[in-house]
Structure 1
Amino acid sequence: MAKSHSSSRAPAPAGFWKESRKGFLAALTTSFILLQILFLGNMCYLYATQYQDSSRFHNLNLLYVDYDGGVVGQSVLDAYGIMRGDSFPSLQQSPATNYPDPSDVRRAVCSGDYWGAIYTKSGASSNLSSAFATGSGDRNSLAYVWNGARYPAFAQSAIYSNLIALVQVTRSAFYSRNASDVMSTAPLSTNPESLQAFLDPIKATEVNIKVTEQGTRVLYNTVSMVMPIIQQFFFMMALNGISSQFQLLTKLSPTANGLLRMCISFAYTFFGSLCMVGYIWAFRESWAVNSNQFALCWMIIWLYMHINFLIVDILTSFVSLRFMPFCILTWVIMNVASTISPFELNPGFFRWGYALPAHEVYQVLVQVWSDGCENQLYRALPILFSWWIAGIVFVVIAMRHRCQTAVAAEEAAAAAKKKEKDILQTNLSRGSSTQDIIPWDRQDTVEASHTEQAAYGPSYHTPFVRE
C-alpha cells in the first residue's frame, strides 16, 4: 500500500517549535506592526486631505459682475450677505468695465481665475418691472457660469449647487427689498401673467463650459490615476522574471540591457495609455469630446505611464523586496491624494502635491477636456518633464547597478559550486572515514541566491510560458 504524502514527510526535530517560537513570533509581530502602520499612515494621509473640506469652500472664488445696476443686482449682493460663510464660495464683485461683455465673464472662468461666475443681465430690473406691469417682460435676469469638467464631483457640489442656492436666495432678497412696491403698483389681481411673474420673479440661465455628466466622471481623478502606477509595477515584475529566466543582465552589456528595457518601456506604455484612453472614450456616453482630444489625452497619459515605469524600475533596482509594499503603496496614495480634490479644499500642507506627476497630468487632462480652458501647461509640463528626465538619468544608474549585482551573483554562484565540487572530491578521496569528511556550508549558495534575487527582483515568471 502506498504511503500517504503526510506520512512520508520527515517529522520535525524534537524541540523545533520551542527553539523557533521566539524568532517566529518576533518576525510575525514586526510584520504585523509595520503593515498596520503602513496602511494606517497612508489612509490617514488620504483622509486628511478631505478633512472638513466643506469649511474651506470660501477658498473657491466666484466672479460677480452687475450689468444691470438696479434692484436685481443689489438683490444678488443681499443674497450673498445672507449666505456668506466658510461653507460658501467667496463672491468677488468686479466692475462691468473690467468685463465689458458676458463672454469676458465666461473667459475668466475658462482661464481658471475663478471657479464660477454669476452676472446680472443688462436691463434685468427694467425687464422685470415690465413683466410685473404687463406679464410679458423677460424674467431671465441672471446667468451663471461654471466648468463641469474641472473636478466634476466637487464642482457640482461646491460650485453648481451653491450658484443655484444663490439664485434662490436672490429671489427671496428681491422680495424683501421690492415686494411691497410691486404689490402696490402691479395689476396682480387682474393679470394672471403679472401674478405669475411676481411669484417667480427671477430666473437664471446656466452656462456650463463643458458638460460632464457621465457616471464615469468620478473615476477620472481617482482610480484612473492609480491604475497606471499599479500597471507598471506588475509589468516590471514580469519583465524582471523574464530577464531572470534568460539571464539577460549577465548575457548582455549594461548599455544593451538599458536600450532593450527602454524600448520595451516605450512600447508597453504606448499601448497601455492607448487602452486607458480607449476605455475612457468607450464609456463617455454623451460627453462631447473628439478625436483630437483623444490623441492629446493619449500623449499625456503615455508620458504619465512612462514616468511611473521609470520610477518603478528605479525602486525595484535599489529597494529590497521586503520594503517594496511600503514604497509602491505610499507612492500610489500620495499621487491620488493630489488629484482627488482641489487644493483649495485641502489643508495647506498638502499643496506640496503640485510637484507630483499625477496632479499635473490631471490638470492637463482637464484643459484638454475643456477645449483649452484651465490652462496649466506653464507649470504642468516643466514638472512632468523634470520627472521624466530625472527618471531617465537615474534609470541608467539603476540598470548599471542591476547588471553589476547580477554579475556578482553569477560569480558567487560559480564560486559556491566550485567549492562544493572541491569538497565533494576531497571527501571521496578520503574514503569512507567519517572523521575526515569536510562538512559543506550552504551559506555561500544562499548568499549567491539572495544576490541574484536583488538583481532580478521583485519578479514572477510569466503564466502559460514554459520555462
Structure 2
Amino acid sequence: MVSIGLKGLRHLDQKPTLSKANRNSFTNEYWKGVRVKFIIQAAAGGISFMLLFLACSCYLYGSLYKSHQRYHNFRILAVDYDGGVIGKALSAAYEELKRPEFPTLYFHSPEDFPTPSDVYQIVRNGHYWGAIYSTKGASDRLEAGIQGGQAATVYNPNDALYWVWNQQYYTTFAQSVVEASIEQLVSAARAAYTKINGTQAFPYVAQSDPDAVQAFLNPIAATVANVEVDAQDSVFLFTSISMVMPVLQQFFFLLALNGVSREHQLYSKMSVRSSMIIRGVAGLLYTFGAALTQAGYYWAFRDGWKVDGNQFVLTWMVLWLLMHTHFTYLDAISAITPISRMPFAVLTWIFLNISTTISPLELQPGFYYWGICLPASNAYSVLVTIWSGGGDNRLYRALPIMFAWWIVGNLLSMAAHLRACHLAYKFDKEQQNNKGDGESAMGMTPVGSEVTIRPHSTNESAAHDDLQQDKTLEEQDLEQRQIYGPSIPPPFA
C-alpha cells in the first residue's frame, strides 16, 4: 500500500510508482495502437449509458406528460336525491366546469343507488374516484330556512351536499385532483343556485332574521366522507422510492450471493439439487427479512396513519411476494445476460415498474396501460386494499397476476441455474485439462513412466505454443463471472 504524507505531496512525481520515467504519456508512440480504440470504446460506453438513461427517463416522464389534460378520466359519481333546485344547481355547476382538465361526473338516478350507503360503498370498492350527491329534501329545507323561524335556526348548509372519496388510493392525486375538484364543484353549485333561484327566493327572505339571511347568503355547502384517511407526510414515497427499493435490494443481494457461490465453486462442485436449494432458501430468507424491514419503516413513520397489526403482517407478506418475484427475475437475468448488459436490464426493469405506480393509469397515455400487468402495479393495488380495510378491492386481478409472475420467475430462475451449473462444470473440466496439458508440455510425466528428455529449446517452444492456446487469467475470470453472474467479493473472505 502506498502511504503518502502531507509533506510528500510536493514530491509525488519522484516516487518510482508515479514517476514519469516509468510511464508514458497518452501522446507517446507506445499508445499509438491503443489511443483510437480507447477513445472509441470509452465514447461508446458513455453514449450507450446516456441513451439508456435518456430512454428510461423519457418513458417515465412520458407517463406524466400533459397528465392534467386527462383529469377527465377520473370518474366521479353524482346522484340527485333532492330532485329540487339544489340538484339542478349541482348539474349546472358541472356544466360550467366541464372540460378535459376536470373529472367527469356520471349522473345516476336514485333508483340506481337507493341509499347514500350504496354511493359510499361503490366508491370504497374503487369503481369511482369519488362521489357527490344532494340529500333528500335539501331544497325544501333551504326554502323553509330563508323564511325564518325554527327552520332557519336549524338550517345547516353542510347537509345540502355530501361527497365521498378515498384518500388512501394515490393520495397525492386524490388530494390534488379529486378533493380539489369536488370542492370547486361545491363552490360552483353555490353560485349556480344564486343564479338559478336567487332572484326568485329573495322576496321570501326573512330579512329581520339573521339565520334566514345567513341561509340565503350561504345556501349550499358539503359534508365529506373519507373512506380511509392518510395523514402521513411521507405518503408520496409509497408510489416512488418505495417501489424502487425492492428491486435494488434484490440486485445487491444477488451480487453478494453470486460472489459467495463463485468463491466456493457451488455450481461446479456441489450437486445441482443442493446448490439450487441453498440459493432458493437464501433468496427466501433474505426477501422475508428485506420485506420486514420495509414494512417496519412504513410503520415507524406512520405518524397518524391508523393501521393495525393484521395490516402490518399482510403488508409484510405482499412486500415479500413482490421482492421474491424481483429476486427470481434478476437471478434469471444475471445468469443469462452478459455482464456488460446487466445495467441495461436492471435499470430498464426498475423504470418499467415504477412508471406503473408513480401515477394512476387514468392519467397516463393509453400506451402505458400495459403496465397494469407488471408486478409493482399489482403489489401497490393489493397494499391499498389492505390499508383501506378492504377498499378499492382489485384482488381478483392483482393477486393472480402477482402469483403468475412469481411462478414463472421461479421456473426461469431454476432453468437459469441448471444452465449455470452445466457451464460451470464444463469450465472446471476445461481448466483441469488445460492445466494437465500445460504440465505435459513442460516435460512432466507420471511416476513410473518412461522419461523422454527433450532438448531445452524444444521444451520451451512446446510450452510457448500451449500457453498461446491457453486462456489468460483475465479471460478465465470473465468466463467465471459470465457463469455465476455479476458479483462482489464475499465478506470475511
TM norm structure 2:
0.90
Alignment of 1:63-462 (within 5 A): 63-134=77-148, 135-136=152-153, 137-140=155-158, 141-188=160-207, 190-425=208-443, 430-431=455-456, 438-439=463-464, 440-441=467-468, 443-446=470-473, 447-462=475-490
Equivalent residue for 1:58?
72
Contact 1:405 1:454 in 2 (8 A): no
Mapped partners of 1:61, 1:457: distance in 2: 47
Cα gap change, 1:248 to 1:433, in 2 (>3 Å)? closer
Mapped partners of 2:56, 2:123: distance in 1: 34
Q: 1:42 Cα shift?
A: 0.4
* Identity rate, percent: 38
Cα gap change, 1:274 to 1:400, in 2 (>3 Å)? same
Equivalent residue for 2:55?
41
| Residue aligned with 2:372, SS | helix
Contact 1:343 1:350 in 2 (8 A): yes
Query: What's the CA shift string for 1:165-188, capped at 9, x where partnerless?
Result: 000000100110111122211022
Mapped partners of 1:435, 1:323: distance in 2: 41
| AA at the equivalent of 1:46 | L
Mapped partners of 1:416, 1:88: distance in 2: 73
Mapped partners of 1:89, 1:269: distance in 2: 40
| Residue aligned with 2:482, SS | helix
| AA at the equivalent of 2:307 | V
Q: 1:228 Cα shift?
A: 0.3
| AA at the equivalent of 1:373 | G
Mapped partners of 1:286, 1:271: distance in 2: 26
Mapped partners of 1:204, 1:346: distance in 2: 31
| AA at the equivalent of 1:5 | T
Contact 2:16 2:22 in 1 (8 A): no
Cα gap change, 1:385 to 1:207, in 2 (>3 Å)? same
| Residue aligned with 1:302, SS | helix
Mapped partners of 2:459, 2:325: distance in 1: 60
Equivalent residue for 2:44?
30
Mapped partners of 1:241, 1:29: distance in 2: 30
Q: 1:435 Cα shift?
A: 8.1
Q: 1:416 Cα shift?
A: 3.0
Contact 1:430 1:437 in 2 (8 A): no
Mapped partners of 1:452, 1:425: distance in 2: 29
Mapped partners of 2:249, 2:92: distance in 1: 53
Equivalent residue for 2:4?
none
Q: 1:153 Cα shift?
A: 0.5
| AA at the equivalent of 2:16 | S
| Residue aligned with 2:234, SS | helix
Mapped partners of 1:274, 1:192: distance in 2: 60
| AA at the equivalent of 1:430 | P
Q: 1:235 Cα shift?
A: 0.1
Cα gap change, 1:160 to 1:192, in 2 (>3 Å)? same
Q: 1:127 Cα shift?
A: 1.4
Contact 1:127 1:139 in 2 (8 A): no
Query: What's the CA shift string for 1:329-372, capped at 9, x where partnerless?
Result: 00000000011111111110101001100001011111111110
Which shifted more, 438-447 or 387-396? 438-447
Q: 1:12 Cα shift?
A: 5.0
Which shifted more, 235-244 or 411-420? 411-420
Contact 1:120 1:142 in 2 (8 A): yes
Mapped partners of 1:429, 1:133: distance in 2: 125
Cα gap change, 1:245 to 1:124, in 2 (>3 Å)? same
Equivalent residue for 2:6?
none
| Residue aligned with 1:96, SS | coil
Contact 2:438 2:463 in 1 (8 A): no
Which shifted more, 346-355 or 416-425? 416-425
Cα gap change, 1:3 to 1:280, in 2 (>3 Å)? closer
Length, aligned pairs only: 463
Mapped partners of 2:46, 2:199: distance in 1: 72
Mapped partners of 1:230, 1:30: distance in 2: 26
2:35 corresponds to 1:21: yes
Cα gap change, 1:245 to 1:436, in 2 (>3 Å)? closer
**Structure 2: 5+ residue runs without aligned partners?**
1-13, 445-452
**Aligned-residue CA RMSD (Å):** 2.1
Mapped partners of 2:415, 2:373: distance in 1: 23
Cα gap change, 1:200 to 1:9, in 2 (>3 Å)? farther
Mapped partners of 1:353, 1:399: distance in 2: 28
Mapped partners of 2:187, 2:386: distance in 1: 33
Cα gap change, 1:38 to 1:194, in 2 (>3 Å)? same
Mapped partners of 2:280, 2:459: distance in 1: 56
Which shifted more, 362-371 or 8-17? 8-17
Mapped partners of 1:448, 1:97: distance in 2: 76
